[in-house]
Amino acid sequence: MGEPVRIGLLGRGTVGGAFHDLVNERADAVEEAAGRRPEIVGVMRRSEGDFDRILDDSEVVVELIGGTDPARNYVLRALGAGRHVVTANKQLIAQFGDELFAAAREGGVQLRFEAAVAGVVPVIRVIQESLAATEITKVFGIVNGTTNFILTEMASTGAEYADALRRAQDLGYAEADPSDDVGGADAAAKMAILARLAFGTSVELADVAYDGITEIKPDDIAYAKELGLSLKLLGVAERRDGGISVRVFPCFLYSHHPLAPVEGPFNAVMVEAPAITEITMSGPGAGGVETASAVLGDVVSIVSGKAPVHAARRELEIVRDINSAFYLHLEVADRPGVLASVADVLGRNEVSVRSVVQRGLGNDARLVMVMHEGPESRFFSALDEIATLEFLRAQPRAIRVIEEEWV
């Protein structure tokens, strides 16, 4: 067996603490798998440790501080000094990927970040290594466990969004400030990383259009259930019209879709390519021990493997007007001609209707419709027109639907 792998650990919080314990517990197993025993030679947190000393003593720096400052500076210095780096920091990779990958190439070292997307689900390794010879056409899935827990809770109990969020916070699935998760920004950062790796092109955070789940109402979920649909916050990165589209949005799925049964704080990612049809990977999206095991897996890869290539190989355009199907929920006056007027607006905008249910009477009358897939720009211009119809009792609510029915 070789020399120990000298690891400098930056951050010893939820993930860093679990990583520290895991290195001790699994040292024998790592030695067996990689031929070298991991050893933590220095720890840095706000209150202890000296970065220069850790850098001198280590050959792999594990960054588990989070955020971009001072994490970016530490990671750049480590790469520049010829140290391999492992991080779980999605913001760092999504915002400064180009700079960090260039620093890793120049330093002749590896930068690994499996835990930054979908926790312990090994989606990055699969895209970069198992599917390196495959032309990936689409990567999509549930990459935020907090929102999936909240939507599952709303669907199973009929709870309002705010109550489901509180329960997620009580159980430790949501942070005290949940805005990055529920607003979609967290999932957008992860999708920027996945799109970059899947398509070999540079993807900035600003290229990702995202919506969150804060406006979702329990009755949307209940009515959609009647239409055989369940609601997820999906990240979708795909090739479209010679370019790519990367988006995050709440979305209804038919019950046979492989992502429909993914509930609670779980993550699941699907990859599609002509050569493989489609694969689905799922598992816990967060948690100290789970994330730490993905980080230690990266250390094993560094010791035993060759660096994956992160360089942008081509420049692909970001396509913004793409085709989608929509669910539309209208609170309307209970009188003849309402459905015909809505159908007229949709027809003039070339939006075709797949199914309609009419519910309630008097002050509770509603029209719930699902459209067929078509250009989003056409649907949104119909929606603007519908919003002005005088018989509407509230703003229309629209949510995308994945139309493919999986069997």
Ligand X SMILES: NC(=O)c1ccc[n+]([C@@H]2O[C@H](COP(=O)([O-])OP(=O)(O)OC[C@H]3O[C@@H](n4cnc5c(N)ncnc54)[C@H](OP(=O)(O)O)[C@@H]3O)[C@@H](O)[C@H]2O)c1
Contact residues for ligand X (CB under 6 A)? 11-16, 44-47, 64-66, 70, 88-89, 115, 119, 286-288, 291
**By beta-carbon distance, which residue lies closest to ligand X?**
13
Residue 381 amino acid letter: S
Quick one: how far is CA 171 from the chain centroid? Answer: 21
Please say which residue, 229 or 248, places its beta carbon nearer to ligand X.
Answer: 248
Please say which residue, 14 or 134, places its beta carbon nearer to ligand X.
Answer: 14
Please say which residue, 64 or 402, places its beta carbon nearer to ligand X.
Answer: 64
- Helices 145-157/161-170 angle, 10° precision: 120
Q: Of these residues, 190, 225, 232, 306, which one is catalytic?
A: 190
Q: Which of these, 213, 145, 152, lies nearest to 184 by C-alpha position?
A: 213
| 190 noted as active-site residue | yes
At closest approach, how far in Å is the CB of 356 from ligand X? 42
At closest approach, how far in Å is the CB of 128 from ligand X? 18
Calpha distance 147→406 (Å, rounded) = 23
**Cβ–Cβ under 8 Å, residues 87 and 97:** no
At closest approach, how far in Å is the CB of 30 from ligand X? 20
Please say which residue, 12 or 125, places its beta carbon nearer to ligand X.
Answer: 12
Give kind and range of the element (H or E) at residue 310: none
Please say which residue, 16 or 374, places its beta carbon nearer to ligand X.
Answer: 16
Could you give the residue ranges of the DSSP H alpha helices within 236-313?
A: 288-304
Between the alpha carbon of residue 255 and those of residues 140, 146, 148, 225, 352, the distances in Å are 17, 21, 16, 9, 22
At closest approach, how far in Å is the CB of 371 from ligand X? 36
DSSP β-ladder status, 397-402 and 243-254: parallel
Alpha-carbon torsion angle 189, 192, 197, 203, nearest 10: -140
Coil, helix or strand at residue 382: helix
What are phi and psi for residue 351, nearest 5 degrees? -105, 125
Q: Which two tokens stand for residue 100?
A: 């960090």
Calpha distance 13→42 (Å, rounded) = 15
Name the region of 91 (left: φ>0; alpha: ψ -120 to 50; beta: rest).
alpha
At closest approach, how far in Å is the CB of 168 from ligand X? 13
First to last CA, the chain: 50
At closest approach, how far in Å is the CB of 69 from ligand X? 8
- Partners of 193 in beta bridges: none
At closest approach, how far in Å is the CB of 301 from ligand X? 17
- 3-state secondary structure labels for all residues of 138-204: EEEEECCHHHHHHHHHHHHHCCCHHHHHHHHHHCCCCCCCCHHHHCCHHHHHHHHHHHHHHHCECCC
- Partners of 281 in beta bridges: 269
At closest approach, how far in Å is the CB of 54 from ligand X? 11
Please say which residue, 15 or 402, places its beta carbon nearer to ligand X.
Answer: 15
Please say which residue, 286 or 371, places its beta carbon nearer to ligand X.
Answer: 286
Calpha distance 379→370 (Å, rounded) = 12
Please say which residue, 65 or 136, places its beta carbon nearer to ligand X.
Answer: 65
Calpha distance 256→249 (Å, rounded) = 20
Calpha distance 110→58 (Å, rounded) = 14
- Residue positions annotated with a catalytic role: 190
